[in-house]
Amino acid sequence: MTRWSLSSSYPVSSVSNRHHFYAHPLIPTFVGPLVHCPPNLLSSLTELREVKLSLRFYNDYFDILAILSSITSTRMNSVTLFVWECPFPDDLEYFSLRWSKIENALCRLWELKGTGSADMVVVDMYFDLVGLGDEVLRLSRRGEFMPRFQEGGVLNVRTQPVEVNRAMASIMPEGFR
Amino acid sequence: MLLTLPQETVNEVIAHLHSDECTLQSLSVVAKRLTEECRRHLFASIHIDSETKIDRWCHTILPGEDGLSRYVRLLDFDTWSDGLWCLSALLHEHPAHLYSFTQVEQLKICPLDPRKRQGNLLESLGHLPSTVRSIYIRPAGDYLATLNFLALFPHLETTVVTSPLIYRDPGVVDVPNLLHRGDLILKVCRLNTGTNILSWLTRPTTCYRRVGLGLVKVDNPTPLERFFEACSDSLESVQFISCFFGEQ
């Protein structure tokens, strides 16, 4: 499922002419469906306040990036990311690079709200691997994970892994989950 | 030890056991002061999906305001199989039982088809509309009839509509009774019925305080893109969205 790109400027999506994501030499690139979410997917949701997304790291990275980047609402309060298959941060540089685009998209959300807004954008992040959440939490506390986002937003790294069906059911009122 | 604690503390302990049916059953016969609280959790929700279950409930649980039915908060009718019969049986053969559900706050009916025999049955849901605050439906019939069904519940705070199977274009629908209906959550699975949910994303959504969109098991971005393109004029009221790709 995973392809390792050898060229630093290899376009991940060779079919879609709307997006040109360029891969890092050591970053696995996506070889699933070669059509990604359009850059304006959520642009018409002007009242949007809350987003919950599942991020299968190797499959959905560019779609989730496109979804987050397409938000135009100035009222965003909450982003929840359920992260699956994320590589362990053995190589911090690689790990940070991989998350930097997501971080930029999240920073954009509090920039859209403007500096005068009292409400902050809160990002809750869940990981599927036991221990990964702990490690990411440790990095975020040391300012080595999404430091720029934390300048204007709140990052909560959850250390308890969440089961996928529970994650999907979380949009439902409690009794219907 | 447990019996020496104040009732509030006992209740807290029992609340932590809410999903442990065996322990609750055992605790409920230890002492009278534990029985009430244990029953509150044991009978908090009932799932009715067959004639057998209806019969079992009606023949073992005594009807009446002081019976076990008063503990039921979630009434879940799974009407896929012989479910129509379930509702029919409950209403016509055992009306006293239906009136014993005095505290139902959440009602789930999947699928909901008010065109069929359910129509008469649902109109005679008795006192349920006065207590129900949340409703979960999978509409399978006439769009307007479904809206009229929802209008039976004046105190709805949350309405969940999942992958509707509505075949007709509703056209212009007057829904004055649906003003100020709290939150609406539209849950679409696999986007295979995505076009049908457009009906729910047009006029009625303007009556809701908040609208949420839950997209689960999205196979690939293409139907997602089509879905948002088709709905673009009606998405302004959407305040929260969740999206889960793939089967996982």
Note down the domain range covering B23.
9-42
DSSP B156: -
B236 touches chain A (CB under 8 A): yes
B48 touches chain A (CB under 8 A): no
User: Who's near A159: CB < 8 A, 6+ residues apart?
Assistant: A133, A134, A137
ipTM over 0.95: no
A50 touches chain B (CB under 8 A): yes
Q: Please indicate, yes or no, if residue B161 is contained in any of the structural domains.
A: no
Q: Which H or E run contains B125? A: none
> Among all chains, which residue has been given the structure tokens 């934390």?
A150
pLDDT digits (tens, 9 = 90+) for B55-104: 788 888 888 878 888 899 998 887 765 555 566 666 677 777 778 888 99
B78 touches chain A (CB under 8 A): no
Q: Please indicate, yes or no, if residue B36 is contained in any of the structural domains.
A: yes
Q: Which residues pair with B106 in a beta bridge?
A: B74, B134
B93: number of Cβ within 10 Å: 11
- For the record, the structure tokens of B196 come out as 């049908």
Residue A139: what residue type? L
Task: Tell me how many residue pairs between chain A and chain B have CB atoms under 8 A apart.
Answer: 108
Q: Which of B237, B246, B171 is nearest to B215 (CA)?
A: B246
Q: Please indicate, yes or no, if residue B86 is contained in any of the structural domains.
A: no
User: Who's near A116: CB < 8 A, 6+ residues apart?
Assistant: none
The secondary structure of A12-53 as a DSSP string is S-SS-SS---B--TTSEEE-S-S----TTTTTT-TT--EEEE
Q: Please indicate, yes or no, if residue B30 is contained in any of the structural domains.
A: yes
Domain ranges of chain A: 32-170
pLDDT tens per residue across all 177 residues of chain A = 333 222 222 233 333 333 333 444 444 454 444 556 667 788 888 889 999 998 888 888 888 898 899 999 999 999 999 998 888 888 888 888 889 999 999 999 989 988 767 788 999 999 988 889 999 999 999 988 999 999 889 999 998 887 777 777 777 777 777
Q: Please indicate, yes or no, if residue B124 is contained in any of the structural domains.
A: no
- Residues from chain A contacting residue B187 (CB–CB below 8 Å): 171-172
Q: How many domains does chain B have?
A: 1
User: Who's near B153: CB < 8 A, 6+ residues apart?
Assistant: B107, B129, B132, B135
- Residues from chain A contacting residue B244 (CB–CB below 8 Å): 53-54, 82, 164, 167-168
